[in-house]
Structure 1
């Protein structure tokens, strides 16, 4: 019972909370709105609602709407240059994890020189300290998957080298986040499932992480419980605001898990997949390897009690074996119609699986050190092989 705890983000949570944004102090008078190249935030009126709130608050803004589902370094640098040219005071990420992650990275580069990869640790990154504090970040999430509204992390791909690597530190926490389930009812069924399982795995990985402790455990088990209770309903009936609210809260709690504990190697494996196949949705990549991944640890004997507690939280109240978690996980994937994801549909080939093993070690290998049982390259390859369809 000896720990440090730091989550400095003010969170406005609940249906309709976006409508209250103008009532809260914002960190400047000129904002850069960062969002995706897609049309959903415009089509469903979320961008207009944000602009209305900024107008009410007397804040001017510029739009940068080029972000891809898997954010790339080129857009981070382009967005940062735009922020510098226009003397931006703070950055708003509007959308899913990709938009908010990009807002964080742009905020770093808007106040610093050089290349973003100068500050990345892993791969070809130089791992340099960040000289100047980032611009303040406001996160407005329209999805429930990454928990990035409650953690400091951002993930970006350097396309020329197929490196997808995470970054973050105390200064990249959002200063203010809006989590409004009303903004999530428009998320399609498959993406609701992919995002929900991403939140689930942030929590399960954080619970199995060797750095876990009382605070991260509390957030993780509650997040797992909410996902087990309501994800299938949110997927099958997206207009159910109560179910959306449960998954939104689970996602924010998962972000808090990321802030107090963290991911283990499951995310290294999934990032290696989407580094080569950017159209392979992150959550889908995680789902595709999850049964084999957690079966490995269930059979290892290194975290039996934690696997059992996760199974109980996910909905199997009489769980007594570590494999009960894997069984319950697969049942939830079936209930969400995502149990048949095929790697081959995204261009992966069985005889090339070794390259994903190498990429996971080279770029996000640091996460392996937090696994409850040390994974060898042979173990990782077998997880990929057992997952391949």
Structure 2
């Protein structure tokens, strides 16, 4: 039986390498081996990547830590702070606590609240204009991923006034230039338990000309400090808790199953060019697995009872853990496919989100394809898919490696069903006729798709979207 399994693996590798010969996909696939885990990260020959870096923000966790933000800024000798939030959060207790702390510590500030849910290049440019009009010596973001990502972009471009917007956007949509000027300190107070943006050097936004999401990824963008205060996540509406939780789940699964760092491609000529998303590595693995363990224990509890402060606080920590994991390893196909799902939305809206336009929340757009994707990628690192399923609560005793994809897909579907996720892309307003556009929107997302453990063709991508039309 073992010989048959190895034969199947070798055939899959051969097929994958024939379908794509780019550096990110023409791997030796040592991760197929059932030998010791360290062999996954053994050094390869030639100019292949041989190193990875760990970059993350300082984080502080605790009930009430928001009240310390004014002291933190005073310790930084800040005189004028640009505060980013959204119009809804500006009316909630979290902003009162922030303002009281700033005032008590003599910090001057100016508030920008014109932030869109799921920001676009247009909304980012407005925030950049605000940040460029005054001489801020620090920035403060109070909100979810959209707020934190907007603040990162404002910080980046206000410190690089000579650059065009696409200069730092990821290739092939932008130029992907390195960040050369020092950025201002940025403190983040996350109010959702999903994006992990308080730990990462990544900005995600809707790029309207492409009708899909894209991003900016550079370690220089990561916040100086993340204040993780579980008091704020009790106010999340149920759907926000659900979709944010699935963002955490997919961050952890994708980073744990991403192509290994030393099989991502060639080593950079200069360390400054080493990407933020490097592929799975021994350190990111630890954080990704910890997030999956926490999800298994607390996700459903956090959704079903907003007053369960233990569960909601634990998911807040899981978001941070997954953020450190994917912030250094990266994500792959579910995120790559999610970008056109969000960008091409027609009329779908979701309760709990105060948006005046059609909106597929990010976590929903990511998880909707996850069962199909992980069945597809499992043959290339089945051990990891099976371990992830076990961490999510599946009984994998005596399970066969060739069943890893099916078992992990079943685990994901169980969580989706129990939390009321819509039944596939058709429930979001898509049909098979939309698949060509969804595929076209996914193909340029090299920043993430090239980290898939299994190479794919356009036809295979079409099949994944077709399989995601219904989930149950």
TM-score (normalised: structure 1): 0.93
Aligned counterpart, 1:32:
82
> 1:305 — aligned with what?
383
Give the secondary structure class of the aligned counterpart of 1:185. Answer: helix
SS of 2:241 mapped into structure 1:
helix
C-alpha distance after superposition, 1:343-369 (max 9, x if no partner): 34443232121111111112x123222
- With over 3 angstroms needed to count, the CA separation of the structure-2 counterparts of 1:8 and 1:28, relative to structure 1, is farther
Query: Which of the pair is proportionally richer in helix?
Result: 1
Deviation (angstroms), 1:27: 6.1
Q: Deviations over 1:77-132 (max 9, x none)?
A: 22222222221112211110010011101101111124322221235423334442
CA contact (8 A) 2:118 2:205 kept: yes
Give runs of aligned pairs for residues 194-343 of structure 1, distance below 5 A. 194-210=243-259, 211=261, 212-277=280-345, 279-298=359-378, 301-319=379-397, 320=399, 321-322=403-404, 323-338=406-421, 340-343=422-425
**What are the residue-to-residue correspondences of 1:1-389 with 2, within 5 Å?**
3-24=51-72, 25-26=75-76, 28-37=78-87, 39=88, 41-113=89-161, 114-210=163-259, 211=261, 212-277=280-345, 279-298=359-378, 301-319=379-397, 320=399, 321-322=403-404, 323-338=406-421, 340-362=422-444, 364-389=445-470
**Contact 1:32-1:88 at 8 Å conserved across structures:** yes
Bigger relative contact order, structure 1 or 2 (CA pairs below 8 A, ≥6 apart): 2
Paired with 2:179 and 2:130, the residues of 1 have a C-alpha distance of 20
Question: Within 2, Cα distance between the matches of 1:84 and 1:188?
Answer: 34
* Alpha-carbon spacing, 1:383–1:250, altered in 2? closer, same or farther (3 Å): same
**Structure 1 residues 293 and 167: alpha-carbon distance in aligned structure 2, compared to 1, 3 A threshold:** same
**Residue 237 to residue 129, structure 1, CA distance change in 2 (3 Å):** same
Structure 1 residues without counterparts, runs of 5 or longer: none
Query: Is the 1:353–1:385 contact (alpha carbons within 8 Å) kept by the matching residues of 2?
Result: yes
- Count the aligned residue pairs: 383
Matched-pair contact (CA < 8 Å) for 1:156–1:165? yes
Q: What 5-or-longer segments of structure 2 have no aligned partner? A: 1-37, 39-49, 262-279, 346-357
Whole-angstrom distance in 1 between the partners of 2:341 and 2:255: 21
- CA offset at residue 163 of structure 1? 4.1
Matched-pair contact (CA < 8 Å) for 2:199–2:320:
yes
Structure 2 distance, partners of 1:134, 1:156, is 20
SS at match of 2:192: coil
RMSD (Å), alpha carbons: 1.9
TM-score by length of 2: 0.77
Residues 257 and 381, structure 2, Cα contact 8 Å, conserved in 1 = yes
How much does 1:8 deviate?
Answer: 4.6
User: Does the CA-based 8 Å contact 1:230-1:247 persist in structure 2?
Assistant: yes
- Listed one character per residue, the Cα deviations across residues 235-285 of structure 1 (whole Å, up to 9, x for unaligned) are 010110100111111100011012321111221100121122261111111
Alpha-carbon distance in 2 for matches of 1:161, 1:314: 35
Q: Is the 8 A contact 1:18 1:180 kept in 2?
A: yes
The 8 Å contact of residues 27 and 136 in structure 1, kept in 2 or not, is answered as no
CA distance in structure 1 between the partners assigned to 2:52 and 2:173 by the alignment: 31
SS at match of 1:242: helix
Q: Contact between 1:36 and 1:98, CA under 8 Å: does it hold in 2?
A: no
SS class of match (2:310): helix
